[in-house]
Homo-oligomer: A and B are copies of this chain.
Amino acid sequence: MGMVGGGKDAFIGAIHRIAANMDGLIELSCGALSINPDIAVDSGKSLFLPENRIYLKYEEMITKESKLSSDRRIDFVTIVTPNFAHFAPAVMALDNGFNVVIEKPITFTIDEAKQLKKKVEETGLILCLTHTYSGYPMVKQAKAMVAGNAFGKIRKVWVEYPQGWLSKLTEREGNAQAAWRTDPKRSGKSGCMGDIGTHAAHLAEYITGLKITHLCADLNVMVEGRALDDDGNVLLKFDNGAAGVLMASQVAAGEENGISIRVYGEKGGLEWHQHEPNTLLVKWLDQPAQILRAGGNYGDRLSGFATHNCRTPGGHPEGYLEAFGNIYRNFALTLSSKLSGSEPTKEMLDFPSVEDGIRGMAFIDNVVASSKSDKKWTEHAL
């Protein structure tokens, strides 16, 4: 693995490294870790990279790595830069025969995302998008139960993502994370919806297997002086007629990172909270609710998708880093199956793709358009 971005002053790069390290399947071999050369070198050294594989620019990294022998060169490039700097290295990596892992949102614009899709198709390489929350075992269990028709037709979806960390004008107080995420030039046309609303939309579609067809958005700038939305509520319509609400906020003061979802069908419903991720609450119309637990000892009541994504027996809580690690692990297992000529299992193949990236970019475009519109419903067109 070679990493673009993720130097010492970044947040998500370190997370990607832990996630990739965890299972002993992936090794960080090189990096272009910062556009600041000093940070790039310092970061590389502290990560024990060999000096000749600490690069100052991603172009150099991709070019040089592509010339190494196949037993030495990296298998894939991981891109953890701010949103505006995803597309170019991704294209170059694919063009040079590297598979790609990319932090979400996939690109800066939907056009870039569509171009990336074409490139992926042309090259036959694999692109993995790190929508972390779909990596949790009990999220996968939820998806499997809905797919298995445990709840009958789905009628209701409530998904929410409250954070509080932008309750003040933090971007003016030297918080680098806040600075780029609230800057239209680096983040894109939406703040809150781009950063976390896309996660919520992905989670809703991932679990239900449904597609959002229409939305009605109310985006807000709650903190005076901010350039992008920091809050938003969106009514949703799904392709089977289900109704939903998506709530995302970065000014829900006192909240941490509370992405949660509730889904109801004809016969019951489910509830999952990222803050207690090993529990899936399952509710029934005419029976007591059940507490399904990751690693639970229930025979085949837990889907293979859930068990494949656990590392420990029940009662040994796994968390965000393991969920992130599952995405890397499934990507790596798929890659390694492909390299060895065998067929990856459906559990291995279950990681977010360039298609999910395009839907995410369209979500950003469409909620922004809807929020500006006087019409109630905006079509969620790609």
A binding-site residues for B, Cβ under 8 Å: 11, 14-15, 17-18, 21-24, 28, 47-48, 151, 155-156, 158, 160, 162-165, 167-168, 216, 218, 220, 222, 231, 233, 235, 243-245, 247, 249, 251-258, 262, 264-269, 274-278, 282-293, 295-299, 301, 311-322, 373-377
Contacts and interface: CB of A to CB of B under 8 A. Distances in A.
Main SS at interface, chain A? loop
Contacts of A264: 162, 164, 249, 251-255
A282 B164 CA distance: 14
A18 to B, nearest CB: 6
Given A247-B245, A298-B287, A254 B268 contact: yes
25 contacts: A21-B23, A151-B253, A158-B160, A158-B247, A218-B243, A222-B243, A231-B243, A233-B243, A235-B235, A252-B264, A253-B284, A254-B284, A257-B314, A274-B315, A282-B288, A286-B298, A288-B291, A288-B293, A289-B291, A311-B321, A316-B320, A317-B320, A319-B322, A374-B377, A376-B376
A320 B318 CA distance: 6
A323 to B, nearest CB: 9
A200 to B, nearest CB: 13
A105 to B, nearest CB: 19
Among A14, A254, A284, A314, chain B packs the most CB atoms within 10 A around the CB of A254
Contacts of A299: 286
Given A290-B291, A291-B290, A256 B319 contact: no
A312 B317 contact: no
Contacts of A11: 313
A156 B231 CA distance: 9
B266 A315 contact: no
A195 B276 CA distance: 27
A249 B242 CA distance: 13
A163 B265 CA distance: 13
A287 B302 CA distance: 10
Contact of A258 (B218, B254, B315): B315
A230 B298 CA distance: 22
